[in-house]
Structure 1
Amino acid sequence: MTPADQTADLFAEPDPHADGHGPDLHWPDVRAWLQAHPQTLLDDRSLLEEVGLKPHGRNVVEFGRAALTRLEEAAEREADARKRIESIARANFAAQTQTHVAALDLLEARNPSDLARRLDAVAQGRFGLAGAAIALERPGGVPFGWRGLEAGDVDALLGEHGLTWLGPMFEGLDLFGPSPEPIRSVALIRMAPHLGGDRAEQARPALCAFASSEEEGFTPGMGCELVAFIARVVERTAERWPVLN
């Protein structure tokens, strides 16, 4: 019989018929001895390394897999957050690019009617909206393709000092042309163009209006920087031409 065959089985039940001679090791006894003499095992660094344990100082606890799992979960959360930020950044960059291209298209307008047509076209083609319109208060002439408003309508819609309004479609707001789908939300931006380019002339209250067929297309909590930028481009471009009565 080889020495390997003579290795004690620590988990075997004690032999009641053993004669009491020779080593008779059993795991409960070994475990109890290690619990009573832990420093003996801790001081044997070579044995610890042989069984795959990492020796540390007395006050250091090796968490192993648990610590690695927490690190992996943190890395996954960080990666998910980074992906969301990158997605938002790409969407913002695309929206800004479309806005800049739309501004260049509006600047090429040849007259007030062409400006209104181009605004509606870029709203639909570049931003996926239901349409856009320019509205101007009377008295005074209203260019072809623009919508006429009565005096005080802009303040009635936005408030006396309001500059913008984003939210559900107004009942009876007749600013947009025919649409294949019902208009469910709108963005209204106040303008005050000095029509004809004469800055000494009193500015006329006006609106740059955008329509969406989606209820969440424009909401009160939404930022309006991009549509406000387009409205400013429309306002300044409209000042190139006089409006005839």
Structure 2
Amino acid sequence: MTEDSRIVRTPNPPAAAGTPSAKRSVTAADVEQYLRRHPDFLVKHANLAEVLAPPTRDNGDGVVDLQYFLVHRLRGELSGLKEQQQNLIGTIRANTANQARVYEAVLAMLNATSFEHFIEIVTSDLAIILDVDAVALCVETNGFLDAGDRMAGVRILANGRIDGLLGDGRDVMLGEVMLGDADIFGGAATLVQSQAMSRLRFSPKAPHGLLVFGSRREDTFHPGLGTELLMFLSRALESCVRRWLDLPAD
């Protein structure tokens, strides 16, 4: 082989200082070095605390190693945040479903073809639409009707009874009941374990009314539940009654 025909081999360029070889596995020392250069790594990647095994060291002299407790506390906080997130998602989904039901209920009332049909929708159809066990539409006597009378599906209450149920000046009440009120729910009273009540102000020229929903579940209606949708439905119902009976709003 002549000198001109020899293969000239170019040596590989040296690896950059501090850069591990491409073929070399990452070692514990590499990880330690990286973490020392990035002390906030676990702060930015807090989810790793769920899989890391915290060390337990005896430092002697009665010194407690707080690292173990800090990591476990972080794990607990992450678990709590995840639970809060799931609860929030569940609440949002439930509120969205309830909102859709209330909108459907309002549309059903607006589509009534007569006042009698409207009363039937309120006292019968709303229970199905809103997924409750009982619905009652009540009106006080105001001196013109006898308590206990029935008028087209409307339950008649004694004058002043609504203030007695809600409290003077209150318009909404939600909560658990030992037994439903037979004057309100009739035969369905024995099923009712929780209820939502909303005062109805039809007109200055008409007695107050009461819209009541009953559920056989104790936790369906409770004082901590939002009342915005119930109030919206009540205002829509009042407007429909004024339209059908030609009552003034003011």
TM range (shorter): 0.5 to 0.7
Contact 2:181 2:189 in 1 (8 A): no
1:70 is aligned with what amino acid?
A
Q: TM-score, normalised by structure 2?
A: 0.63
Counterparts of 1:64 and 1:230, CA distance in 2: 52
Residue from 146, 151, 160 that aligns with 1:152: 160
Q: Relative to structure 2, which stretch is displaced further, 123-132 or 208-217? A: 123-132
Secondary structure of the residue aligned to 2:187 is: coil
Report the Cα offset of residue 206 of structure 1: 1.0
Pairwise CA RMSD of aligned residues? 3.8
Q: In structure 1, what residue type is equivalent to 2:92? A: A
Alpha-carbon offset, residue 180 of structure 1: 9.5
Match for residue 201 of structure 2? 192
Q: Which whole-Å deviations, capped at 9, do the CAs of 1:123-144 have from their partners, x for residues lacking one?
A: 3212221111111111236741
1:161 to 149, 160, 169: 169
Cα drift, residue 75 of structure 1: 7.4
Separation in structure 2 between the aligned mates of residue 186 and residue 126 of structure 1, nearest angstrom:
16
Pair 163,69 (structure 1): closer, same or farther in 2 beyond 3 Å: same
5+ residue gaps, structure 2: 1-16, 52-74
Report Cα offsets for 1:45-74 as digits up to 9, x if no partner: 6899888222749x7587999977327668
State whether residues 116 and 133 of structure 1, in contact with CA within 8 Å, keep that contact through their aligned partners in structure 2: no
What SS is found at the alignment partner of 2:188?
coil
TM-score normalized by the length of structure 1: 0.64
Pick 1 or 2: higher relative contact order, CA cutoff 8 A, min separation 6: 1
Structure 1's unaligned 5+ residue stretches are 1-43, 195-200
Of stretches 61-70 and 110-119 in structure 1, the one that deviates more from structure 2 is 61-70
Which residue number corresponds to residue 176 of structure 1? 185
1:123/1:210 contact within 8 Å kept? no
What percent of counterpart residues are identical?
23
Contact 1:187–1:218 (CA under 8 A) maintained in structure 2: yes
- Say which of 223, 228, 231 aligns to 1:225: 228
Tell me which residue corresponds to 2:205.
Answer: 202
| Superposition pairs of residues 1-245 of structure 1, within 5 angstroms | 52=27, 53-54=29-30, 56=33, 60=37, 69-70=48-49, 81-138=84-141, 139-140=143-144, 143-169=151-177, 172-179=181-188, 182-194=191-203, 202-242=205-245
Query: Which residue in 1 is equivalent to 2:72?
Result: none
